[in-house]
Amino acid sequence: MSDGTGMWFGVIVVIALSVIVYFLMSGTLPKAAKPSISSISPDSAVTGMVIAINGSNFDYINDIAISHKNIILLGNTAYLNNISSKNGKTLFFNLTDLLRACPKTQLKPGERCPDIGIGLPKGDIEIRVINKNGESNPIGLKIS
């Protein structure tokens, strides 16, 4: 190793270890990117239809936040829970007429969500994807 590669390898190892120690000591690790929605299909639907959301940074387990002025909960929002993405770019879910009270991906250990059914309102709703990495931008969907 007279060509200096051994020295450079050692320098790289020291830098890598320094970065790891920094993150461990500071208690912060780089965060994964929050989900992002680029499109929804179809853009109008009825209960029972399958909806496709395209975007990025979807997780294996996601919640769909549905907001409308007639949802009588804090933030006028209810949820569809446990929607999975196999590729991180597409979510498919069945539009049901009953929603849940909270995003399960945001619950802390030991927290529980009331098991109540909240009716899906008709009209223009706003949809967002929520997972352990955060909340997406909104996109509109018309419910008939």
89-139 per-position pLDDT tens digit? 999 999 999 999 999 999 999 999 888 899 999 999 999 999 999 999 999
Which is nearest to 78 in space by CA: 61, 91, 65? 65
Tokens of 82: 């446990």
Domain hosting 20: range is 1-30
Tokens of 96: 């049901």
Residue 129, Cβ neighbours under 10 Å: how many? 29
Do 19 and 49 sit in the same domain of this protein?
no
> pLDDT at residue 56 above 70?
yes
Domains held by the chain: number? 2
Q: Can you give the pLDDT at residue 128?
A: 98
pTM confidence score:
0.77
CATH of the domain at 52: 2.60.40.10
State the Rg of the chain over Cα: 21
> Bridge partners of 55?
37
